[in-house]
Amino acid sequence: MKQLSWIGAVVAALAVGCASAPSPQQGQEKAGQSLIGSEWELTDLAGLPVLQDRRPTLSFLEPGRITGTGSCNRYGGAADLGEGTIKVGPLATTRMACTEEIDAQEKAFLTALQNGHKIQLVDGDLVVYTESLERPLRFRRTR
């Protein structure tokens, strides 16, 4: 009978341990949390040069949202960060008048960002892979 009690105690301990282990979804949330509070500046638009005085930005100031400047206009919207993944929802933007060159850069950036699917930190840079461009977006941290 003592042997049966001992086996029951081990089974109960294992059950409690399994119940308190984080689920894969919780682990994904933690991975996305590492970007919360960070701000980034675009340095490479999929291999294209970025206008020095009009660099797009990307900020993760609160969970589930991104904000920044596209080059001329401010933008913001929902973003779901997982373990190495990003899914950006529709973005709202301001509607300021821009030069054609700045407008073209902004449109390319915002389209690429909304089509982002994979995200990595590489040598201190944030790299966002997108469905709409062959090469990724590359950002350097500003905060």
In DSSP notation, 27-75 reads HHHHHHHTTTTEEEEEEEETTB---GGG--EEEEEETTEEEEE-SSSEE
Residue type, 85: T
Q: How do residues 75-121 score in pLDDT, each as one tens digit?
A: 999 999 999 999 999 999 999 999 999 999 999 999 999 999 999 99
Residue 117 located in a structural domain: yes
Structure pTM? 0.76
CATH of residue 105's domain is 2.40.128.270
Give the count of domains, the chain: 1
Domain span holding position 133: 23-141
